[in-house]
Amino acid sequence: MNASDLLQPTEHGLYCEEGDFHVDPWRPVPRAVVTHAHADHACWGCGRYLTSAEGERVLRVRMGREAVIDAVAYGEAVDVGGVRVSLHPAGHILGSSQVRLEHRGRVWVVSGDYKVEPDATCSPFEPVRCHAFVTESTFGLPIYRWPSQQAVFDEINAWWRSNREAGKASLLLAYALGKSQRLLSGLDPSIGPIYTHGAVEKLNRAYRETGIDLPPTSYAGAAEKGKSWAGSMIVAPPSAQGTPWARKFGPVSYALASGWMTIRGTRRRKAVDRGFVLSDHVDWPGLLGAIEATGAERVLVTHGYSAVVVKWLREKGLDADVILTRYEGERDDKGAEEGEADEETPPAEGEELS
C-alpha cells in the first residue's frame, strides 16, 4: 500500500483518513460504511453505520434496534468528512453494495462480496468505473465456473420430489442470510410444505418487509408434536446438521448449496447426500470480467485465492497487489457465520426490525 492511498488497512479494518471512517471494519469504530450485513463485513458495536436503503432491515436484524443506521439509496452521494461516498449494487445478498469513494479527482471502489449473475432476492451487480478497485477472490481459480442458477434450482426441486416419493424430508443447508432466501426463491411450493430454521425465518421476514417475494414458509420449531415431516423441505444453516433439532425430522436427506461443491470429494467431507453448486460470490470468469469493466488501473485483491489473482493480473499488465483483511468469503464450515447457532426462535409477534 502507498501512503497516498485513499484506503489503508489498519487493526480495525480499511480506513479512510481523509473522511475519518472505516469500510467494513472488523472491530468497533466510531463511523462505519458497510457493504452488507454478513458478520465478516458488519461489526457489532460501531458508533454509526452507513448502508444501502435496500439492506437497512437486514442490517438492523444483525446489529440490533439500538444501532444508529443511516441508509441511502443506490447511487445517492453523501459527503463524509470531505469524501464523496455512494453505494452501488453488488448482487451478493439483499442490500449488498460496492462503496465508491471520490476525493480530489481520484475514485476508489470497494466491492465487498459480489456476484454478477442476477437473482430475484437483491439488486443486480452494476460495474462502477474507478481508478482503484478492491475485489474479493473467494473463488479466484479457473476451476470455479458456476452453472446457471435455473439449472441448479431444477436439480434441487428434482431432489426434493425424489425424497418426497421415498417418504423422506429434505433438509437443505445454506447460510441463514442471503443464500437461504435465494434458494427459497427458486423452490417449487407445489412439491410440498416449506419450513425453516428460526435464524432463516427471522431474516425471511426482513426480506419480505423490504419487498422481496418469497414462497410461504413456516417456522419448523412451531410444528405440532408428532408431526410427520415426510415430503417437507426444511431450509437451515449448516450449523444445524446433525443436531437434535435436525434429528426430529425423522428420515431425512441432507444437501448443501455452496460454490465449494464444485470440488470432487467436498460433498463426502461434508457428510451430505447431495451437493448443489450455488454461490453468492463471483466465479472466475465473472471476477475477471468485473475487474475489466471497472477500467481500474490499480487492483487490490483480498480473501480467497488473492495471490493467484494478483499474479494473473500482473501478467496482464495491471498494477495489482494483495491487501490483507479479515474477510472470509464463503465458509460453509463456520456454522455461526451469521450468529445463527443460538437463533432457533423466529422474531416474536410484533417485534420490530427497523
Question: For residue 231, what pLDDT band results from cuts at 50, 70 and 90?
Answer: very high
Q: What integer is the mean pLDDT of 56-69? A: 96
Q: 298 pLDDT exceeds 90?
A: yes
User: Measured between alpha carbons, how far is 145 from 277 in angstroms, rounded to an integer?
Assistant: 9
Which residues are 31's β-sheet partners?
A: 48
- The pLDDT of residue 3: 60
- The pLDDT of residue 304: 93
User: Measured between alpha carbons, how far is 162 from 184 in angstroms, rounded to an integer?
Assistant: 18
- The pLDDT of residue 330: 84
Candidate from 4-8, 63-67, 142-146, 150-154 with smallest mean pLDDT: 4-8
User: Measured between alpha carbons, how far is 235 from 220 in angstroms, rounded to an integer?
Assistant: 9
State the greatest distance between any 2 C-alpha atoms of the chain, in Å, as a whole number: 66
User: Measured between alpha carbons, how far is 315 from 319 in angstroms, rounded to an integer?
Assistant: 10
Task: Summarize pLDDT for 243-269 with one digit per residue, the tens.
Answer: 999 999 999 999 999 999 999 777 777
101 touches 33 (CB < 8 A):
no
- The pLDDT of residue 341: 41
- The pLDDT of residue 140: 97
Q: 311 pLDDT exceeds 70?
A: yes
Predicted TM-score of the model (pTM):
0.93
Q: 197 pLDDT exceeds 90?
A: yes
Residues above pLDDT 90, as percent of the chain? 85
Run of H or E including 106: strand 106-110
For CA atoms 332, 238, 199, 156, the dihedral sign is positive
- The pLDDT of residue 333: 52
Q: What integer is the mean pLDDT of 282-287? A: 98
Q: What integer is the mean pLDDT of 58-78? A: 97
Which residues are 83's β-sheet partners?
A: 80
Task: Summarize pLDDT for 322-344 with one digit per residue, the tens.
Answer: 998 888 888 765 444 444 443 44
| Cell numbers for 230 | 415426510
| Cell numbers for 93 | 445478498
Burial zone of 8 (CB within 10 Å; 0-12 exposed, 13-18 middle, 19+ buried): middle
Nearest to 181, CA basis, from 61, 41, 68, 33: 61
Q: Residue type at 324?
A: L
199 touches 338 (CB < 8 A):
yes
Place of cell 441463514: 176
Q: What integer is the mean pLDDT of 42-64? A: 97
Q: 153 pLDDT exceeds 60?
A: yes
Q: 32 pLDDT exceeds 90?
A: yes
Residue 75 DSSP SS3? coil
- The pLDDT of residue 340: 46
Q: How close are the terminal C-alpha atoms of the chain, in Å?
A: 38
- The pLDDT of residue 142: 97
Question: For residue 354, what pLDDT band results from cuts at 50, 70 and 90?
Answer: very low
| Domains contained in the chain, CATH given | 8-143+281-322 (3.60.15.10), 149-276 (3.40.50.10710)
Candidate from 190-194, 219-223, 312-316 with smallest mean pLDDT: 219-223
Find the radius of gyration of the CA atoms of the chain: 20
Task: Summarize pLDDT for 89-147 with one digit per residue, the tens.
Answer: 999 999 999 999 999 999 999 999 999 999 999 999 999 999 999 999 999 999 999 99
Arithmetic mean of pLDDT over the chain: 92
- The pLDDT of residue 132: 98
Q: In angstroms, what CA-CA distances link 239 with 16, 105, 331?
A: 36, 46, 12
Residue 112 DSSP SS3? coil
